Amino acid sequence: MYLLKFDWNPLTGIDIVGNFKIHFYSLMWIVAFVLGHAIMKRVFKRENIKLEYLDPLFIYTVLATMLGARMGHVIFYQPELFTQDPLSVILPFKFAGGFEFQGFQGLASHGAAIGIIVGMYLYRKKYNYKSLMWILDRIVIPVASGAVFIRIGNFINSEIIGKVTDSDLGVRFVQNFYNKYEIVEKTGIKDVKKAYASITENSNMSQLLEAVPYRHPAQLYESFSYIFVFLILWFVYTKTAKKDQTGFLFGLFLVLLWTVRFFVEYVKEPQGDEFINWFGLNTGQWLSIPFVLIGLYFMFVFKPKTKVN
């Protein structure tokens, strides 16, 4: 089992021109959205829905996901940005302390969930071919598949790491432990990529590597769990009559995904400044509980007022 432990010190992207880089994390988002589009196309064909409604749904989903995820992170984990660097809330640049392109360093899944619900409501207002609940019952299937790849992207980026562990599943996240300025200073190598590579490839740097603790790969725990969330949703949708129960798939998604999130939080390091930490539960766990309760309501209590054909 000891062999399951490993050091994680990868390239995080592909250099294109100058300092411009395509990050693997960004590619994972693209994979998530492209796969989601393909899944929804299959759903539309299965239910004889005009494909002309699919591309607008895709655009609404992408925008709602990204805006919701970003705003959720800032509100729940980094509210100081509203006063310290407000433009960085909606733009992928840092302005305070010097202009720098940094991408959106902080996206929250709770915010994404709220954003998607709002986005689907707005989409339904414009494209009135099915009920809002019909759309939510179907859109959660590709959302679950997308979550798998987003967490893989987090793992590649060495972010949303787990707590220190002595277990056989521990991973040493070198690039999370040393930032790019520290690694250049400690190795004496000016090229950041070569400096990071030297930590794991040069035996003379073994002391720097030994200082990095093993941690739970919390991102992989979530990603692996979300595979099963997706498979369960797809099975219920394609093989059971529950797909015809309005709100059931939406509720099942909320219960499964946020239950996973609740328990993974026990082995995850706090993200930013946790503004909630009551009764041994952190912000992520407290934010997950309402989603689970809402999911149970839609699974077992909710009755639509009218049946939409």
Q: Which of the four pLDDT bands, split at 50, 70 and 90, describes residue 272? A: low
Q: Collect all residues with Cβ–Cβ distance below 8 Å to 290 and sequence separation of at least 6.
A: none
Output the CA torsion 74→76→77→83 (10° steps).
50
- Average pLDDT (270-280) is 71
The rounded distance, in Å, linking the Cα atoms of 90 and 281 is: 29
Q: Collect all residues with Cβ–Cβ distance below 8 Å to 4 and sequence separation of at least 6.
A: 168, 169
- Average pLDDT (122-132) is 96
Please write the tens of the pLDDT for every residue from 75-94: 877 888 888 878 777 776 67
Which tokens go with 4?
């399951």
Minimum mean pLDDT range among 2-6, 104-108, 150-154, 155-159? 2-6
pLDDT confidence of residue 66: 92
Helices and strands in the chain: count of H runs, count of E runs: 13, 9
Q: Calculate the average pLDDT of the chain.
A: 90
Which residue spans within the chain are E strands per DSSP?
6-8, 13-17, 20-23, 93-94, 100-101, 171-173, 214-215, 277-278, 281-282
Please write the tens of the pLDDT for every residue from 166-207: 999 999 999 999 998 999 999 999 988 899 999 989 888 999
Q: Is residue 143 within 8 Å of residue 36, measured between CB atoms? A: yes
What are 101's strand-pairing partners? Answer: 93
Q: What angle do CA 269, 258, 67 make, to 5 degrees?
A: 80
Q: Which of the four pLDDT bands, split at 50, 70 and 90, describes residue 1? A: very low
Q: How do beta strands 171-173 and 6-8 pair?
A: parallel
Tell whether the model's pLDDT for residue 274 goes beyond 80. no
- Average pLDDT (10-31) is 79
- Average pLDDT (23-45) is 95
The rounded distance, in Å, linking the Cα atoms of 243 and 173 is: 42
The rounded distance, in Å, linking the Cα atoms of 179 and 72 is: 25
Q: Collect all residues with Cβ–Cβ distance below 8 Å to 24 and sequence separation of at least 6.
A: 11, 12, 13, 14, 153, 156, 157
Tell whether the model's pLDDT for residue 309 goes beyond 60. no
Tell whether the model's pLDDT for residue 21 goes beyond 90. no
Residue 70 assigned to a binding site: no
Q: What angle do CA 267, 149, 145 make, to 5 degrees?
A: 100
Please write the tens of the pLDDT for every residue from 90-112: 776 676 777 666 666 678 888 99
The model's pTM: 0.89
Q: What is the largest CA-CA distance in the chain?
A: 71
What are 8's strand-pairing partners? Answer: 173
CA distances from 117 to 61, 140, 244 (A): 9, 10, 20
Minimum mean pLDDT range among 59-68, 138-147, 278-287? 278-287
Q: Is residue 94 within 8 Å of residue 88, measured between CB atoms? A: yes
Q: Specify the 3-state DSSP secondary structure of 23.
A: strand
Q: Which of the four pLDDT bands, split at 50, 70 and 90, describes residue 64? A: very high
pLDDT confidence of residue 306: 59
Percent of the chain's residues with pLDDT above 90: 67
Please write the tens of the pLDDT for every residue from 215-267: 999 999 999 999 999 999 999 999 999 999 999 999 999 999 999 999 999 99
Gyration radius (Cα) of the chain, Å:
21
